[in-house]
Amino acid sequence: MASDELRVRSAMDPVRAAQYLQAIVNGLRSGQLRVEHGDEEITLAPHGELRVSVKARRKREKESVSVKMSWEAVAEETHEEEAPENDGELRIMAGAPTA
């Protein structure tokens, strides 16, 4: 399968970022995820077992969270690979911790 990539960096408010994240959620649920920017477009087909990596970080005056997901492309042959790391249940929630 050919390699295609579309990468966009942008500043936006939390509400707009949440709208983009909700579109990703919808694409994961439907099995079709299309990303467009200008005249560029890439369509992905998330399915099967996804490998998920979450990184949350606070460094000086900056905080960030990164989420990365990958899966085997439909057209490629499936290859045996190592099982993803699973060091307990991942939990992501909104709001401050309760004491």
Ordered per-residue pLDDT tens for the chain, 99 residues? 567 898 989 999 999 999 999 999 999 999 999 999 888 889 999 999 999 999 999 999 999 999 999 999 986 554 445 555 556 776 666 666 676
Residue 54 is assigned to a structural domain of this protein? yes
Counting Cα atoms < 13 Å in the Cβ hemisphere of 25 gives 6
Cα gap 52→71, rounded to integer Å: 9
Residue 27 is assigned to a structural domain of this protein? yes
Cα gap 58→69, rounded to integer Å: 22
Residue 39 confidence (pLDDT):
87
Residue 2 confidence (pLDDT):
61
- What range defines the domain where residue 58 resides? 14-70
Amino acid residing at 95:
G
Residue 20 is assigned to a structural domain of this protein? yes
Name the H helices within the chain.
14-30
Residue 75 is assigned to a structural domain of this protein? no
CA dihedral 37, 15, 51, 36 (to 10 degrees): -10
Planar angle of CA 20, 6, 75, nearest 5 degrees: 100
Number of domains in the chain: 1
Residue 87 confidence (pLDDT):
63
Residue 35 is assigned to a structural domain of this protein? yes
Backbone angles phi, psi at 80, to 5 degrees: -70, 140
